[in-house]
């Protein structure tokens, strides 16, 4: 079974944040529905909103990605604030079924 490794960079989703994202305008929903912008990830009991970056990416790419996630969340949720230091990094190995 082939696997894809990546690092997920994002912020933990709490109930209040989920509610605020759900209330975003129809025109902004594309940012949550298209993983090019943002995606959600569940790891155990925790859920995160953020973006994927490739394993081994340079540190400036990590910083740019954190700023991008914050910028998109501010667009979706007016008044949203986050400290870049609160971003979470989650290493993931996603299994893909083999084609026959």
What ranges do the domains of the chain cover? 3-95
For residue 4, what pLDDT band results from cuts at 50, 70 and 90? confident
Buried b (16+ CB within 10 A) or exposed e, 30-58: ebbeeeebbbebeeeeeebbbbbbeeeee
Tokens found for residue 26: 């129809």
Alpha helices (H) along the chain = 15-22, 30-33, 59-76
28-70 pLDDT, tens digit per residue, is 889 998 999 999 999 999 999 999 999 989 989 999 999 999 9
Our CA angle for 29, 31, 36, nearest 5°, is 145
Rounded-to-integer distance, Cα 6 and Cα 14, Å: 23
């Amino acid at each position: 079974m082939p696997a894809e490794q990546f690092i997920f960079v994002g912020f933990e989703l709490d109930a209040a944040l989920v509610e605020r994202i759900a209330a975003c305008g129809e025109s902004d929903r594309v940012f949550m529905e298209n993983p090019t912008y943002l995606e959600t990830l569940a790891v155990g009991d925790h859920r995160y909103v953020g973006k994927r970056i490739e394993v081994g990416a340079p540190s400036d790419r990590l910083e740019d990605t954190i700023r991008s996630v914050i910028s998109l969340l501010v667009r979706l949720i007016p008044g949203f604030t986050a400290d870049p230091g609160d971003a979470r990094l989650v290493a993931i190995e996603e299994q893909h079924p083999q084609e026959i």
